[in-house]
Amino acid sequence: GAVQALLTRLYLNAEVYTGTPRYTDCISYAKKIINSNRYSLESDWARLFNAENHLRTNEIIFSFVVDSEHTVTWGATTNIVCGGATGNAEAEVGVTGAWGNFRVRGEYVALFDDASSTDTRRRFYSEGQTQYIDGGLSDASNGYYSMKWSNLTDAGAAASNTQAVGVNTDFPVFRLADIYLMLAESVLRGGQGATPAEALTLVNEINERACGDQSGNISSTELTLDWILDERGRELLWECTRRTDLVRYGRFTGSGRIWQWKGGVKEGRAVDNKYNIYPIPATELSANPNLQNANY
């Protein structure tokens, strides 16, 4: 499953890096995973990101293990859970000594219709916070905190003392919902092997899981590439897919999509297209100066 998921992702992005579209191959490998009947969507989305998510092998295809007894780390999900938590809501995510380092951009919050949305993925700590980062990056009252990731057990107890040993939350690298979205996008990009109707069924399974009913379902006319990009944002926050997604859509650099503080200014600005591929660091270049990417 993990190898097939990796190939699915590589084929989805192949055109960006090789110039050759491989969307049919992306669909083929996505369907191998789906048709294996080994995986199904976890009914409770939040449990995919808690301290017992190692039990969610029905949806999580491959993950990095983070365990407070055997793989103690101050990076990985300890950094995500503690770094993304506010001291005002430590118990709600099962941490002791929240770091308060990370907040989500206001544009991410805006991907959800409104505060009354039934979408359970809309999980923010907003008390005393502004949605947008208007006062500067160092103003801790600017930007909402994400409550997606936690160190809570299924029973709601803290799984570990995070100040001493970090968290118990694994990091999902590949999961079935992402496979569904990659297949749907590949269909919209002209890939063969699945129909738009199949793609719609799959994305609405994700919607129904998020909302608990069919209130968030979309129609065939609403299933567009732009909708897929927004849905990937809602579903996959902090799962290391966003930059790659924006590059694939041609919106990471340039002026195709402007967000607050893009390019280092409050109102956002276009960024040189060379940053779609980053430079190779100096430490690697000292071993082989011929490695550097173009434009650097």
Does this model's pTM top 0.85? My answer is yes
Which CATH number is associated with domain 2-44+173-249? 1.25.40.900
Whole-number pLDDT of residue 96: 93
- Structure confidence at residue 115 (pLDDT): 65
Domain ranges of the chain: 2-44+173-249, 66-169, 254-296
Closest CA relative to residue 123, chosen from 155, 166, 70, 81: 81
Confidence of residue 135 (pLDDT cuts 50, 70, 90): confident
Helix (H, G, I), strand (E, B) or coil at 63: strand
Give CA 154 to chain center in angstroms. Answer: 22
pLDDT of amino acid 116: 66
List the structure tokens of 137: 């990056």
> Contact 231/245 with Cβ under 8 angstroms?
no
pLDDT tens profile 160-198: 999 999 999 999 999 999 999 999 999 999 999 999 999
Other CB atoms within a 10 A radius of the CB of residue 71 amount to 13
Residue 63 backbone phi and psi in degrees, to 5: -145, 160
Tell me the pLDDT band of 138, cut-offs 50, 70 and 90: confident
Gap between the Cα atoms of 179 and 187, Å rounded: 12
The answer to whether 124 touches 149, Cβ cutoff 8 Å, is no
Question: Which residues neighbour 75 within 8 Å (Cβ) at sequence distance 6 or greater?
Answer: none
d(CA 127, CA 144) in angstroms, rounded, equals 8
pLDDT digits (tens, 9 = 90+) for 267-280: 999 999 999 999 99
> What's the mean per-residue pLDDT of the chain?
95
Q: Are 159 and 56 in contact (CB under 8 A)?
A: no
The two tokens of residue 82 are 């503690």
CB 151 within 8 A of CB 159: yes
Instruction: Using pLDDT thresholds of 50, 70 and 90, give the confidence band for residue 114.
Output: confident
CB–CB of 200/222 below 8 Å?
no
Instruction: Tell me which residue of 266, 40, 283, 26 sits closest to 136, measured CA to CA.
Output: 266
The pLDDT assigned to 247 comes to 98
Which residue, among 201, 187, 104, 194, has the nearest Cα to 147 in the 3D structure? Answer: 104
Whole-angstrom Cα distance, residue 217 to residue 225?
16
Quick one: how far is CA 155 from the chain centroid?
25
Confidence of residue 113 (pLDDT cuts 50, 70, 90): confident
Instruction: Give dist(CA 47, CA 249) in Å, integer.
Output: 30
